[in-house]
Structure 1
């Protein structure tokens, strides 16, 4: 009850102050923060202005969208190390204008060969820890860059990574979000070697507006650009990593790095009211977006207002059903059989929709049953488009803020802790095994219409991401918002579903709402049995490029809650 009262007070203050409204804007909803950015020759939308500008510079230099996306991602690892970097994984969806086709890349790494489930059991662990050497898996980012570049790139990798190298060496002022995330990092990782030397060279975390430099990362990126991906996975960097992990009591070895490969995969889609929505197949959670949309398509939202109790209730109930399937089935398809076609079929959605009570919040739902054999955070998203019509939807992450705390000697980056998302319960799809890819939260998205690109977008925020994807699509398709309005609209989160880590949630869970929803809506949702609260910083980030095929114009949008920028030329 305290949370609800505090929420009402916060909403009242914001309403009285006029904060975050567009009431003086010629066009736009009351919550719109700014206009859409429009351009014809190229567009970049990232979570940091320097990354956006780097992408535009690459486009102007003759690079294509793929070159610019790699450049922006490398820059993101420099200026936002608290959410991504070359110690993490990468996923991408590419629209190639020449072939008029979508290509999916799974650039996630696998668990160490030498670390077994028995080792966790011997230690008495029920969950893989968030920090230290145990959650470290192979970082797939660098290999993914080179896979993208080999297939689609135009400029040299030296030119593409030059911006990131320059800013890592010369420095940049730390922005608001990074400074806030940096505050607790030094104490959190104080027991681990190299963390202070790299991220707090003056003995404390850099403050907002201070210039931060990472010369070790500059040298690493420079060598990767010049010598190629093998210097990282098979050369002396790999040997440095091997030696460091042995000293740290870790299990990642030279063999794990040397045998790493990314995988080109076929994106999976469903049609939602005439729009084809594309996601990547597991080990990510993109299928849950398609499952939710299939469930929600059965309701006529032309007669259900945005922000109404009916809208929020149906959205949350669809999420509960999709997330139970997510917990049971989504995992590395190299280890388990996933009923992919069945999960995203319309007939399955029609059956599951019968479980939704329009008047009452579900307390417990189960995953769907299929005849298949079951074997015993923090992120950046960016999207770029070029003058040829190529578009890239790219997402990359270290997982939990900064990562695992493992900073190899002299290389200037921290390893991800993505392995934390394995389950240690025997017999589940996502149960830990050596050389296996963990369940992944980061998902890029793409929408086509009539065989043409329509929208490249993503929403950051761990398990919130599918909810964010569905809200963006509904805001554009069902509620007629432009891409900036769709991202600015107050968001809905729901906490309380079974997790791929093996945790089982009971009860209706809790809906957390950003300010902007009416008291009448909140009261009606409580009447349906929902618990209502609020959260801080739990609603993800967002970037989007919408393509107007009739006028051949890109419409760019960027997250207003963070430090991002949409720009074009």
Structure 2
């Protein structure tokens, strides 16, 4: 039990159903759907639609989506809702245009958005309520306005300079030339019209007709290679894939397969599984082991992971006992190893949510624009902010993550699911760009190695070995930072909070759901 004299929050507990999101209005939307008899999928779609309005810097319908869904008593299902590059995109085409790297605000950073394809596919197969009900709150907030919460305002201000470079984004998101402040009210009426059209006509309303025509025209005006055929193909782009998994401390950890980085999370856990990470270790020792395992796993991710149709090695090789043993042998418990060679761009703007309904169905759901406000390119008639996921493509022939016709780029957004003896125990996720795989491992270690409750594990000080630097949150004490520096780590205080997590633990024996939500964001876990 937490120290009630100290600031913090307790786990949420409920007997029937629960949802955890990074925004209070989204959590309220989801819990209302669950109370009305909607299932976990209904609640997740309703909540993320709301987040696409009230957290526009983090996510949107112009982004991508990945889902893990565990129907009660059945196997985990994975849905890949990431978009593809235009059919005309290639390394040679970009090089002919003098492009060696894809800029965040470039039209080439915009793959055909996959989120709506994923939502409608998941809804058709597993939802129970009509889309017009699920989108009701999102449409109302977009039309009538919503208050800006503290973390949203913090992110909004940091993105102001890029927003100012797009005339349409500037008009909508910088009224009077200034970012919206906490407590101010904001509306997106054009987005409300697009959401209403999707609620009425499904994915076709986004990938065909007036919306698609407007988006393609905007992208072409920016120099893009997109066509109406590319968007039409995007309507059915989302598809089910076989999840990957590894065992950690007797629990099966499920992730989506590449083109996501879930394999990196499993590789970190595999390496850490050879060490005793219980509380007798000092914080410095625990951070060091985690940092070294992260560097090893991410180096392999950067070199080997991209579109699954272009991988040089199967995932099974990366997760094999031989690979794990080789990586673990390279890890020193006393000295920081050389930093991995990082080649992928930094990005950190995503929303993650999870839900469990009264029947025990569990969903782990993540939706992203990539950067803050994505590419910052807004199509004004539709209200759609286009993501920047193609920014991670390499303009290098032969690289697994090289841009190519209808290829999917490497993604960092990864939902996760924990199971034991064939039973779902916990949907969970840690948003935050590169940090996500490392965050999954750190969170699970807190719960499974140290016996923390979900909220304690989420609240715990975070660190991240990235680009030759060990970022630590200011809550890591000075003595620990000095010890890590003595081990050879280049210490840097994190400029902003590392990631944001949500999780729900299903305690079937006690008929109890326990939930946690990250205080680094504005959201909460609620149940009934």
User: For 1:381, what is the secondary structure of its paired residue?
Assistant: strand
Corresponding position: 1:294 with 2:294:
no
Shift of 1:181: 2.2
Partner of 1:79: 54
Q: CA RMSD in A?
A: 1.9
Corresponding position: 1:418 with 2:392:
no
Hey, which bits of structure 1, 4+ residues long, moved more than 6 A? none
* Pair 204,527 (structure 1): closer, same or farther in 2 beyond 3 Å: closer
Shift of 1:304: 4.2
CA shift digits 1:260-312 (9 cap, x unpaired): 211201111111110111111100100011111111111122374251x3212
- 2:301 maps to which of 317, 320, 326: 326
Shift of 1:180: 2.2
- 2:256 maps to which of 280, 283, 292: 280
* Pair 239,344 (structure 1): closer, same or farther in 2 beyond 3 Å: same
Shift of 1:68: 0.5
User: For 1:320, what is the secondary structure of its paired residue?
Assistant: helix
C-alpha separation between the residues in 1 aligned to 2:100 and 2:375? 18
Per mean C-alpha deviation after superposition, the further-off stretch among 483-492 and 523-532 is 523-532
CA shift digits 1:316-341 (9 cap, x unpaired): 11111111110111110123343211
Structure 2 spans left out of the alignment, 5+ residues: 343-347
User: For 1:78, what is the secondary structure of its paired residue?
Assistant: helix
User: For 1:561, what is the secondary structure of its paired residue?
Assistant: coil
Corresponding position: 1:335 with 2:310:
yes
CA shift digits 1:99-134 (9 cap, x unpaired): 422100010001112232123223433321011312
Query: Given the two structures, how large is their TM-score scaled by the length of structure 1?
Result: 0.88
Shift of 1:189: 3.1
Partner of 2:465: 494
User: For 1:462, what is the secondary structure of its paired residue?
Assistant: coil
Q: Is the 8 A contact 1:194 1:409 kept in 2?
A: yes
Shift of 1:454: 1.1
Partner of 2:17: 42
Q: Is the 8 A contact 1:186 1:195 kept in 2?
A: no
Structure 1 spans left out of the alignment, 5+ residues: 1-20, 368-376, 497-508
* Pair 254,297 (structure 1): closer, same or farther in 2 beyond 3 Å: same
- 2:426 maps to which of 433, 455, 464: 455
C-alpha separation between the residues in 1 aligned to 2:15 and 2:452? 21
Corresponding position: 1:24 with 2:20:
no
C-alpha separation between the residues in 2 aligned to 1:427 and 1:192? 34
Per mean C-alpha deviation after superposition, the further-off stretch among 52-61 and 179-188 is 179-188
Query: Given the two structures, how large is their TM-score scaled by the length of structure 2?
Result: 0.95
- 2:289 maps to which of 271, 292, 314: 314
Partner of 2:490: 531
Q: Is the 8 A contact 1:381 1:458 kept in 2?
A: yes
C-alpha separation between the residues in 2 aligned to 1:242 and 1:215? 21
Paired residues in the alignment total 521
Corresponding position: 1:344 with 2:315:
no
Partner of 1:469: 440
- 1:236 maps to which of 210, 234, 243: 210
- 1:270 maps to which of 243, 246, 251: 246
* Pair 551,429 (structure 1): closer, same or farther in 2 beyond 3 Å: same
- 1:383 maps to which of 354, 368, 375: 354
User: For 1:383, what is the secondary structure of its paired residue?
Assistant: strand
Q: Is the 8 A contact 1:244 1:409 kept in 2?
A: no
Partner of 2:125: 151
Per mean C-alpha deviation after superposition, the further-off stretch among 316-325 and 75-84 is 316-325
C-alpha separation between the residues in 2 aligned to 1:366 and 1:400? 22
Partner of 2:508: 549
Shift of 1:40: 1.4
User: For 1:407, what is the secondary structure of its paired residue?
Assistant: strand
User: For 2:108, what is the secondary structure of its paired residue?
Assistant: coil
Shift of 1:88: 0.3
* Pair 86,474 (structure 1): closer, same or farther in 2 beyond 3 Å: same
Partner of 1:106: 80
